[in-house]
Chain A
Amino acid sequence: MSYCVNCGVELNESERRCPLCGVEVINPAKPYSPNAERPFPASAENVTHRAVRVIAAKVLSLLLAIPFISVLLADLVKDGRLTWSLIPAGCIALFFMAAVFPCLFRRPRVWLFILFGTLETAAFLFGLYMLLGGNWYFLFALPVTLLTGAFVIGCQLMLGSKKASLPLKMIIVLVLAAVFVLVLQMLIELHLKSRIHFDWSLYAAVACAMLAVVVLIVGSLIRKRENVRKKLFF
């Protein structure tokens, strides 16, 4: 019989290490024998998890397949070719991609989903552009989509960052928001009136900048917490 030198408990012959502390059993008088009778068999039951997300992806695919197929069929049966149904079908496909893609990941990578969603939206709009014609895609729809995607990813990465402090995160998000509205108005003006002009976006940007300054001041005050406590002592 062997004792754990660390815990003082007597150990079963089948234990190579103490199950309580992990210290190896070294007993020159009775070396560990792998053939000792064990209290449990060596083979373990394999527990496989059919993850909820895989089930969710399957259910969603089934649910969306029904309207997808029915609109295409309705269109095809009526006049032998696909016309209007491409738009609802494209919408369903877009929703399907946006919802199912995240289900395939074990750990959520939000920025990746947003990137993927942005590209999907751009592709969907391109399909609409090919179907409907016009000159709105490359100069307007594509830049606005990419801009929105970039803004959301930027905010998400910033807010999810572990290094930055909360005031710093808020300031950067506010600055990003200011840039976003300015560029958005620029794109709208360029597309509609072929000029660069800022009015409403300027107000929003100024508000963002002022908020950022407030956050900066409050943040620095909080850092000197002792000062605040002194001033606000009651």
Chain B
Amino acid sequence: MCYNAPMKHGTVKNGRGSGWLPLDNAAKIYPPAMTEGWNALFRVSVTLDEPVDRQVLKRALLKTVARFPNFAMRLRRGFFWYYLDKLDGAPDIRDDVQNPCARMLFRENGGFAFRVRCFGRRIAVEIFHVITDGAGGLSFLKTLTAEYISIKYGVKVPREGDILDCDEPASAEELADGFLTHAGPKAVPEPPVRAYRLYGTPDRDFLHVTCGILDAAEISARAKAAGVTVTEYLTTVLLFAAADWKKARGGVLQARRPVKVTVPVNLRRLFGCRTLRNFANYANVGLDTRLGEYGFDEAVQIVHHQLKLETDPRRLAAKVASNVGIERNVFMRLVPLFIKDPIMSIAYRIEGDRKSTTCLSNLGLVKLPGEMEAHVERFDFMLGSLIENPVACAAIGYGGKLYVNFTRTIRESFLERAFFTRLVKMGIKVFIESNEDR
């Protein structure tokens, strides 16, 4: 039985325990785009107050995976599309490594499209984007942690918000493809403006991670003083860092391109949807440095208003409608996968993430119930390497700290240096750690 019949938008049947899922609209591009050495991954991790007990973690994982049916899935090829097929159990818990988000081989992983890694006090979950997006991944990790803490310490953790109750079955709404149900009446694609691209010495097989730890209260006070959100504030700093890169490293052919930052937008809150699968869209904000220099206070306002415009629900619904329109197109549907696959792969490589210079994904402040808070020290969020953009930035806040993880597949650490030193010059304390070789 299929969880949501692709033909009937919105009519979703619940079939916990058996079944399959068509890929959601955002996930469709990732399987054709993946190669032997790369697939689109992201990682959320939690650091506890004690070393992780792997036996307990395994038990917690089995319960959590049963609650999140979209995680208990194997990616398979159909005749027209890829699909997710039911898989029993849970992947084995693996040791953490120095280079997170290295390409995932499903056959090494029991067929699962996510993996759980352990290092000392930290539990990390690396997720292939076909399963879910950052918010869905965080919900999974929080539920897994809640399950772990309640087994390990015998406490009852209240399940609220995105910490789910593992004794309840998954609802139909949680497995629905939100894009299909929430597409707007009119499809408006995003104008294809090419953004300035960062070039560096490629180092594709090793993801360099630089984590900057900031004081959350300090940053939010600054943002509040400017009348903007933390995401908007950080985006402005990142735009300035990218503009610094452009000024310093140039690129004759790229002189006319604006620097732009992609900011993923979680559509769940905007559209009141509780899906556990991908449900995000993107806003591209930029500074056109060809027009002249911007002061920080001006730029922060420009970014604020741009994001406001871009995240207008009607506008996002129109963008979603345009993406859904491509997928529901008769030609797209009737062309067999073996033809569609290479075409989509090439299209993604050409179009991919050219509209932005880099990206900043902020999962926001994590709030936990007191029972969990006592055992949880830290959260981290990072993005695996993107196809074109060599540097990505991801942020998450917890316990009064803001963790900003830069991940890159080039040697040059220029962008994060520009980002963090700008914060330092603005009087904000930055604490740095990394996975560099010593």
Contact = CB atoms under 8 A, between A and B. Distances in A.
A79 interface: no
Given A19-B434, A20-B210, A34-B438, A41 B96 contact: yes
21 contacts: A7-B420, A10-B430, A10-B432, A11-B432, A15-B438, A19-B210, A19-B432, A20-B413, A20-B432, A39-B433, A39-B435, A41-B119, A42-B98, A43-B98, A44-B98, A44-B206, A45-B97, A45-B99, A45-B102, A47-B99, A47-B102
A46 to B, nearest CB: 8
A15 B102 contact: no
Nearest to B104: A45
Interface residues of A, number: 27
A163 interface: no
Contact of B424 (A7, A12, A14, A40): A7
B59 interface: no
A21 B211 contact: no
Contacts of B24: none
A16 B413 CA distance: 16
A42 B97 CA distance: 7
Contacts of B425: 8
Interface residues of B, number: 34
Interface in A5-63: 7-12, 14-22, 34, 39-45, 47, 49-50
B434 A39 contact: yes
B435 A40 contact: yes
A11 to B, nearest CB: 5
B431 interface: yes
Given A40-B96, A44-B98, A10 B431 contact: yes
B312 interface: no
Interface of A: 4, 7-12, 14-22, 34, 39-45, 47, 49-50
Contacts of B429: 10
Given A19-B413, A41-B119, A9 B430 contact: yes
Nearest to B380: A39
Contacts of A45: 97-99, 102
Contact of B432 (A12, A22, A47): A12
Contacts of A8: 421, 424-425, 430
B205 interface: yes
B416 interface: yes
Nearest to A55: B36
Interface in B401-438: 413, 416-417, 420-421, 424-425, 429-436, 438
Contacts of B436: 15, 17, 19
Given A7-B420, A40-B98, A43-B95, 4 more contacts: A17-B438, A20-B416, A21-B417, A47-B99
Nearest to B415: A20
Nearest to B36: A50
Contacts of B95: 41, 43
B103 A47 contact: yes
A41 B97 contact: yes
A47 B101 CA distance: 11
B299 interface: no
Contacts of B431: 9-12
A24 to B, nearest CB: 11
B404 to A, nearest CB: 12
Contacts of A20: 210, 413, 416-417, 420-421, 432
Nearest to B94: A45
Contact of A49 (B37, B119, B206, B420): B37
A42 B206 CA distance: 13
A110 B302 CA distance: 52
Given A44-B97, A45-B102, A47-B102, A15 B424 contact: no
A125 to B, nearest CB: 38
B432 A39 contact: no
A73 B36 CA distance: 38
Nearest to A10: B431
Given A20-B417, A20-B420, A34-B438, A47 B430 contact: no
A45 B416 CA distance: 24
A47 B205 contact: yes
A12 B213 CA distance: 10
B209 interface: yes
A39 B211 contact: yes
Nearest to A44: B98
A9 B424 contact: yes
A85 to B, nearest CB: 34
A40 B119 CA distance: 8
Contacts of B434: 12, 15, 19, 39
A159 to B, nearest CB: 22
B212 interface: yes
